[in-house]
Structure 1
Amino acid sequence: PPGQDCVIINGTAQCGEACQHYTELNDNWLSQYNINGNSYCSGYYYSPEGWYRMFVGQTSAQIPETCVQDSRCSSYNRLQMTQPHPTQYNQTVTRSLCYSHGSYCCSETSSDTIKVKLCYGDFYVYKLQRLPGCYTAYCAGNVLLLITKSSKI
């Protein structure tokens, strides 16, 4: 339906407006400020494709657009966006990702893309793809909203 997005879960289409129907992704180990090293293997790479809202603690978070330092997000392969977040409410954009390995920033571009939507309430939701395997994570950082004046009602 118009204004809704659908994902297939167990062979059934589940549809809804992304800013209202998302899964919360709230694990402090995903934080770009987590310095616990590369020891954690996320169960989230088994998660289905779908819309997610990221948190670090009680604070809304976003996937970084800049390099994430080595040994952060408790993951060896750290994913970041290569283009900016949307700046207008209800705008959905498709963004490329890149991997940072060790001290190498964006050393490899991912063939996968994600969708990002700016929601009223000043948070982002992400239509994330299934991760390729262990020790790979979407990192989460502080939300830095740059909203254009023309986007407010």
Structure 2
Amino acid sequence: MRFLISLCVSLLLLINGEITNGQTTETTTSISDPCYDYNTLDEYWRDIQQSQYSGRDDTLVEWSGWYRLYLNGESAQMSEWCVSYMQCGGETGLYLNGSHPTLEDGVVTLEVVGAHSWWLYGYSHQCGAYRSTSIRVKACPGDYYVYEFVKPNTSVPRPRYCAVAFKSISSDPCYNYESLDRPWRANNESGAHFCDYSFSWSGWYRLFYNGMDIRMPETCVSSFSCNTYYNLWLNDPHPQIEDGVVIRDVCGSYHWGGCCEFNSKPIRVKACPGNYYVYELVNPQFLCAGYCTGTVLFPLFNF
């Protein structure tokens, strides 16, 4: 009788778990993969290019499960950029405070933030001033992302998740960049006044000075440099190769102002094999600001 009872118990353990060295270990099997079990979210006003205010508020949405983003039927992803005031259909645009995961990362939890805005010599933005509720994100086979959206922090003024046109998961900016060789951007150049806001920035850039690798300055750029009104430079050190893609703050100094008189939009930076950097440059915060470069800097990395 004892043998039969023991046999039945063992069978039950085998059905509900595994027996290893006398210990029962619960087996966990995923009920569904969010890469194939998601809701579709295609709302044009979530585009960071949309600046028409429409009073959208994601705290009023009944979020449930995982979502895949689209913009006008095309695959999209959450913004990793600081979103300007009154974009994406509401007041505070929410974006990821970090890079999207890779396929190998599986499901990761990422911080969600928003920018605070006020009037000071035009619009000025304090990126990451608001902290919303973190969300889970996953990169999927087939080149797209899914997000487990939740109700944002209600202390954030009219928050909403912002989207951008999708960029391929498999594209490495170290090998997919545009060369930018503009000697007049060097921090020892002065004269004309160029405004980077008028440039059509798109993607990643590798910086050169007359054919030689250079990088953006990490220290204050003196007045009347880089052939622009507002000199833009990195307010954080460059990354190492093992850091991957990082977000760096950008400082702006004016001809007769302070060293970091205002903050422009943050940019993404990556250190690449081959001893160079790439930058994902965007339109600056101010109308006549320009990205500065060094002159000759070798080696680029500090190992």
Q: Assess same fold via TM > 0.5.
A: yes
**Cα distance, 1:108 vs. partner?**
1.2
Is 1:123 the counterpart of 2:285 in the alignment? Answer: no
Q: CA RMSD in A?
A: 2.5
Q: Which moved more, 1:82-91 or 1:113-122?
A: 82-91
Distance in 2 separating the partners of 1:107 and 1:133: 12
Q: 2:181 aligns with which of 26, 42, 59?
A: 26
Name the CA distance, whole Å, in 2 between partners of 1:118 and 1:138.
18
Q: Which runs of 5+ in 2 are unaligned?
A: 1-100, 104-143, 145-163
For residues 9-88 of structure 1, the aligned pairs below 5 Å read 13=166, 15=168, 16-36=171-191, 39-42=192-195, 45-88=198-241
Q: Secondary structure at the residue paired with 1:106?
A: coil
**Higher Cα Rg, which structure:** 2
Q: Between Structure 1 and Structure 2, which shows a larger proportion of helix residues?
A: 2
| Alpha carbons 1:25, 1:52 under 8 Å: kept | yes
Whichever residue aligns with residue 19 of structure 1, its letter is C
Contact 1:45 1:131 in 2 (8 A): no
Segment of structure 1 superposing worse, 11-20 or 27-36: 11-20
Aligned counterpart, 2:301? 146
CA shift in 2, pair 1:44/1:74, >3 Å: same
Cα displacement (A) at 1:132: 3.9
User: For residues 109 and 44 of structure 1, what CA distance do their matches in structure 2 show?
Assistant: 15
Distance in structure 1 (CA, Å) of the matches to 2:260 and 2:286: 18
> Residues 131, 87 of structure 1: CA spacing in aligned structure 2 closer, same or farther, 3 A cutoff?
same
Q: 2:259 aligns with which of 105, 111, 114?
A: 105
Q: Distance in 1 between matches of 2:187 and 2:247?
A: 22
CA deviation vs aligned residue, 1:81-123 (integer Å, no higher than 9, x gap): 111001235622110111100142111122x111110001100
137 and 91 in structure 1: CA distance in 2 versus 1, 3 angstrom threshold: same
Deviation at 1:131, TM superposition (A): 2.6
For 1:60 and 1:44, the matched residues in 2 are separated by 24
Following the alignment from structure 1 to structure 2, what is the Cα–Cα distance between the partners of residues 116 and 123? 11
CA contact (8 A) 1:35 1:72 kept: yes
Q: Indicate conservation of the 8 Å contact 2:197/2:288, yes or no.
A: no
Work out the number of aligned pairs and report it.
139
TM-aligned CA deviation for residue 25 of structure 1: 1.1
Q: Which runs of 4+ in 1 moved over 6 A?
A: none
| Percent sequence identity over aligned pairs | 31
Contact 1:26–1:54 (CA under 8 A) maintained in structure 2:
yes
Give the aligned residue type for 2:218.
Answer: E
Task: Note the residue ranges of structure 1 that are not aligned, 5 or more in a row.
Answer: 149-153
In the aligned structure 1, how far is the partner of 2:277 from the partner of 2:221? Answer: 19
TM-score, structure 1 length as denominator? Answer: 0.78
Q: Aligned letter for 2:260? A: C
User: Contact 1:51 / 1:127 at 8 angstroms: preserved in 2?
Assistant: yes
State the distance in 2 between where 1:76 and 1:121 align: 33
* In structure 1, C-alpha distance between the alignment counterparts of 2:231 and 2:200, rounded to whole Å: 17
Q: Please say if residues 89 and 120 of structure 1, whose CA atoms lie closer than 8 Å, have aligned partners that are also in contact.
A: no
